Amino acid sequence: MAAKAIIKKKGKRGPVKGSSTNGAGNTASKWVGQPIRRKEENRLVSGKGIFVDDEKMPGMLHIRFVRSSYAHAKITRVDVSKAEKSPGVVCTLTGSEIKRQVQPFIEIGPGGAQKIADYPMAVDKVVFQGEPVAAVVAETRLAAEDAAELIEVDYEPLPPVVTAEDALKDESLLHPAMGTNRNWHGVFEYGDVEKTLKQAAHVVHIGRLHFHRFSSTPLECNVILANWDPRSGDIEYHCNNTFPSFASQFLAPALGVRIDQIHMKSYDIGGGFGIKITSYPYMAVCALASRKAGGRAVKWVETRIEHMQASAHGNERTFLDTRVALDKNGIILAIDSKHVDDCGAFPRYEPLGCVIWAQVLPATYRVKNIRIDMHQVVTNKCPVGPNRGYSRMQHLWFIERVIDICGQTLGIPADEMRVRNYIRKNEMPYKTPNGCVYDSGDYASMLAMAKTLVGWDDWKKKQTAARKEGRWIGLGIGSTLDSGTNNFGQARIINPDAPFSGQSKVGIVKLDIYGEVVVSMGSVPQGQGHETSASQVVADALNITPDLVNVRPGFDTAHNAYTGHTGTYASQFAVTGLTAIHGAAMKLRKELSRLAAWKLQAKEKDLEFGVGAQGPEVRVKGTQKAINYWALANLVNVNNAGMPEELWDITLNCRHVFHANFQIPDVKRKYGNLTLTYAAQVHAAVVEVDRETFQPKILAYACVDDCGKAVNPRIVEGQVHGAAAHGIGAALLENCAYDSDGNLLAATFSDYTPITAVNIPDLLCGHMETLSPFTLNGAKGMGEGGAAPIHTICAALQDALYPSGVIIDDSHNTGDSLFRAMQKAESGGYTGMVRVEHRRASRRRF
């Protein structure tokens, strides 16, 4: 049973743009904050969800890709002639054919990275296993699959580059035009790292740490239904891409169409967790296939093997040559480290990950002097894409390892180490050394709650007793941040010429002809319950009930509820999406108020909103005079003769754009506010490593989250559970491992083993609310969870095995890897991995 603890903290509240109410009375927070049942549930439990593969179009064709079995090879021959003669085949496509029809995709990276030619299919060489080389379009899925077998491709293998360290050697180049495998490099340096290292009481040197590749693996793979209409030249997409504005900005120049000609639509999406952002190369191929097939719709349903090999993985990162300066009390004064991010074969959304981590530069700690020498390389592996906790979790894991390793080395308990180093609640809002502003948070109280939930003190005693019996029990803590609502201006730190910055979202609230309240969202929900949260916000704004608010599911360009930032990513809907919708609802309220004042011959200040016998209405306080929404809508839409001219601007179709108050960062100093909100998670776990099987078993697990005001606590708790499971799965089961030839070893679920009901521990959950001073109702975006379980489980394993001489240096740990770690420890393999320099006294206190 999940235990529950809730503490509410009063945060500092500041004035928020768009949050004040207007002339027609104040809105109350009646629905926001309530754990109401989701609007989405009934259709989804009835099999009435509409996922892309459920959609059909007349004359629809099916596409099947032929993919490279090699990680790195020249393509010497592609022969589609047999496939073209196969029954049911309409046409084929090859990379070289496509090259003549499209521009390569935009590269975000500067300099050499601009020379990467990323086409939607391989042209003359393949750079990862699973890269599409050719495709066949047929009347049925069966015919397409049969014909794909008949396409002949000859390869001349090239030396594969599989690890980041190998990539840095530049011996075999993926993209010769770039001249190197290093597609981005930059130094993030704040404070005086060298001086601090020289003067500190202790300097801890840490050898190589490695954050493994894993992925989102939503249960629904990528699916695209494309129709390039030869008459209009418009491309219609039913798809589950979760960042449609990004995709269309990549697709329009590549395909040579106006961006207005790309229509995208989603309804229900079977999970995303980031990874569906980068499906646009396949969207391009499907459009080209539709055009070649004479304007017939083409559907692509990605198989799971294709998804594992060739959609996207999370970023892999290696941390080298780390030095940590500490004072005599274990306060971390400086961190210096070299990080090599591995983005796979094509950068695509990268190298944004080379700056995104800097949103959480010091993690939850007060450390002021930091230097990270950041590199990103390309390797012959699947390209990466944003994966729940994108780029921040790798860095947060690194910092948590630093905390634990330093604590173990200096003999300071893990909880104490954190409490000493945490940013204090009275320091909030806290400006980080690189200019980010942590809005609110009380990490020490979260830790205290997590310890109570997990039974920390009891387990400590049990651990002492168990150790005497020779058992390996460890207690671990993971503190993490889920930064939300990103400032795209951080892209300028990657490439000063990047033409984007800030953050915006659209909401539309209208009264339809018969007076129904209809909301269009500028988001792409994948299970986060946006329809429900939106209805709660609108219900409060209009003082009606959420069931009277009709929220259109999914995304549709036809709703016109988008800007160039529109998508669902970066833990932000509760802030950006809902503030936009709130703004639109308040505009509608103002219009209704003006209309009602005229019709009821009253003053706006005397009106109130509510639900009467005739449904939602506006009434004159203390009287029987009221007008319902049907009548108000009627006045504007179908019965508008005689309406005074000063009301003609009323449309009852109100669109509001939320703008986050961001500046463009100082590119030279790599300094500025990169994110608006900082939800936090502190997890605590007890893990035992079986002495005989070396299997790690979770004995107790607690999660404490703080996302400020929870708009719908039921949804928030669900997100906490999901993020925790994703992290526990990544820590113990899920790994996109490659062999030395660049073959993906986890190409099916049977090898990748996504976490199941027999693996997950009971999660003991606690919730805290420190309100964000920067958002509408104090909410902070959440849902990504910052990979807290990976940090926590590694910490607990470290605690369990440190007496045996093991350093947990990888984010993925299994019975097998722990067995090998123990063997390594026994043969002295960790000697020198962690080294401490002690000085007699710190000359200066920081």
Task: Count other Cβ atoms within 10 Å, centred on residue 828.
Answer: 9
**Cβ-based nearer residue to another protein, 92 or 719:** 719
d(CA 352, CA 275): 14
Extended strands (E) in 83-208: 89-94, 125-126, 132-138, 152-157, 182-190, 202-206
**Cβ-based nearer residue to another protein, 452 or 759:** 759
Extended strands (E) in 256-327: 262-265, 298-301, 316-326
Q: What is the dihedral of CA 149, 155, 159, 160, to 10 degrees?
A: -20
The gap from C-alpha 745 to its chain's centroid, in whole angstroms, comes to: 25
Tokens linked to 210? 């490695």
Interface with another protein includes 759 (CB under 8 A)?
Answer: yes
**Cβ-based nearer residue to another protein, 641 or 758:** 758
Can you spell out the DSSP letters for 269-312? ----TTGGGG-HHHHHHHHHHHHHTTS--EEEE--HHHHHHHT-
**Which one of the spans 182-190, 410-418, 633-641, 715-723 is the region binding another protein (CB under 8 A)?**
715-723
d(CA 669, CA 675): 17
SS3 63: strand
**Which one of the spans 35-43, 151-159, 552-560, 672-680 is the region binding another protein (CB under 8 A)?**
35-43
> Residue 419: in which H helix or E strand, if any?
helix 414-421
**Cβ-based nearer residue to another protein, 220 or 236:** 220
Residue 464: which residues within 8 A CB-CB, separation 6 or more?
A: none
Minimum gap (Å) between residue 309 Cβ and another protein: 13
Tokens linked to 621? 């306080």
Tell me, by CB under 8 A, how many residues bind another protein.
86
Site for another protein in 239-278 (CB under 8 A): 268-271, 273
Site for another protein in 204-223 (CB under 8 A): 216-221
d(CA 653, CA 301): 36
**Cβ-based nearer residue to another protein, 3 or 187:** 3
**Which one of the spans 376-384, 436-444, 604-612, 751-759 is the region binding another protein (CB under 8 A)?**
751-759
**Which one among 120, 527, 773, 778 touches another protein, defined by CB under 8 A?**
527
Interface with another protein includes 829 (CB under 8 A)?
Answer: no
Extended strands (E) in 459-534: 472-486, 504-511, 517-521
**Cβ-based nearer residue to another protein, 228 or 694:** 694
Minimum gap (Å) between residue 813 Cβ and another protein: 10
Determine the Cα angle at 115 with ends 110 and 121, to 5°.
120
**Cβ-based nearer residue to another protein, 754 or 805:** 754
Interface with another protein includes 158 (CB under 8 A)?
Answer: no
The CA distances from residue 190 to 313, 368, 499, in Å, are 31, 7, 26
SS3 83: helix
Minimum gap (Å) between residue 145 Cβ and another protein: 5
> Residue 698: in which H helix or E strand, if any?
strand 696-706
Minimum gap (Å) between residue 83 Cβ and another protein: 15
Minimum gap (Å) between residue 148 Cβ and another protein: 10
**Which one among 128, 609, 694, 738 touches another protein, defined by CB under 8 A?**
694
**Which one of the spans 95-103, 116-124, 327-335, 522-530 is the region binding another protein (CB under 8 A)?**
522-530
**Which one among 3, 6, 44, 106 touches another protein, defined by CB under 8 A?**
44
Interface with another protein includes 530 (CB under 8 A)?
Answer: no
**Cβ-based nearer residue to another protein, 37 or 74:** 37
Interface with another protein includes 47 (CB under 8 A)?
Answer: yes
Interface with another protein includes 531 (CB under 8 A)?
Answer: no
> Residue 339: in which H helix or E strand, if any?
strand 332-342
d(CA 770, CA 423): 14
**Cβ-based nearer residue to another protein, 314 or 441:** 314
Site for another protein in 652-671 (CB under 8 A): none
Site for another protein in 727-746 (CB under 8 A): 728, 732-733, 737, 745-746
* Residue 678 β-bridge partners: 483
**Cβ-based nearer residue to another protein, 544 or 685:** 685
Tokens linked to 382? 């699947």
DSSP code for 485: E
Interface with another protein includes 724 (CB under 8 A)?
Answer: yes
Minimum gap (Å) between residue 364 Cβ and another protein: 23
Residue 741: which residues within 8 A CB-CB, separation 6 or more?
A: 71, 160, 162
**Cβ-based nearer residue to another protein, 549 or 763:** 763
Site for another protein in 1-30 (CB under 8 A): 2
Interface with another protein includes 529 (CB under 8 A)?
Answer: yes
Interface with another protein includes 726 (CB under 8 A)?
Answer: yes
Interface with another protein includes 49 (CB under 8 A)?
Answer: yes
Minimum gap (Å) between residue 72 Cβ and another protein: 22
Interface with another protein includes 303 (CB under 8 A)?
Answer: yes
d(CA 327, CA 709): 37
**Cβ-based nearer residue to another protein, 219 or 259:** 219
Interface with another protein includes 688 (CB under 8 A)?
Answer: no
Residue 353: which residues within 8 A CB-CB, separation 6 or more?
A: 315, 341, 343, 376, 384, 386, 390, 391
**Which one of the spans 227-235, 312-320, 613-621, 687-695 is the region binding another protein (CB under 8 A)?**
687-695
Q: Give the chain's radius of gyration (CA, Å).
A: 28
Interface with another protein includes 528 (CB under 8 A)?
Answer: yes
**Cβ-based nearer residue to another protein, 40 or 809:** 40
d(CA 439, CA 11): 9
Residue 629: which residues within 8 A CB-CB, separation 6 or more?
A: 511, 515, 516, 517, 592, 615, 616, 617
Interface with another protein includes 717 (CB under 8 A)?
Answer: yes
Characterize the bridge pairing of strands 369-377 and 125-126: unpaired
Interface with another protein includes 781 (CB under 8 A)?
Answer: no
**Which one among 721, 805, 824, 846 touches another protein, defined by CB under 8 A?**
721
Length of the chain: 846
Interface with another protein includes 54 (CB under 8 A)?
Answer: yes
**Which one among 13, 99, 141, 599 touches another protein, defined by CB under 8 A?**
141
Site for another protein in 359-388 (CB under 8 A): none
DSSP code for 760: P
The gap from C-alpha 496 to its chain's centroid, in whole angstroms, comes to: 24
> Residue 374: in which H helix or E strand, if any?
strand 369-377
**Which one among 186, 314, 722, 778 touches another protein, defined by CB under 8 A?**
722
**Which one among 19, 550, 748, 825 touches another protein, defined by CB under 8 A?**
748
Interface with another protein includes 547 (CB under 8 A)?
Answer: no
**Which one among 502, 718, 805, 829 touches another protein, defined by CB under 8 A?**
718
**Cβ-based nearer residue to another protein, 44 or 187:** 44
d(CA 277, CA 567): 9
With beta carbons less than 8 A apart as the criterion, state whether 267 and 50 touch.
yes
**Which one of the spans 32-40, 111-119, 229-237, 610-618 is the region binding another protein (CB under 8 A)?**
32-40
Residue 395: which residues within 8 A CB-CB, separation 6 or more?
A: 317, 339, 357, 358, 360, 361, 363
Q: Using the CB atoms, write b or e for 351-367: b if 16+ within 10 Å.
A: bbbbbbbbbbbbbbbbb
**Cβ-based nearer residue to another protein, 36 or 585:** 36
Site for another protein in 556-575 (CB under 8 A): none
> What would the x/- binding string for another protein be over residues 761 to 780, using CB under 8 A?
xxx-----------------
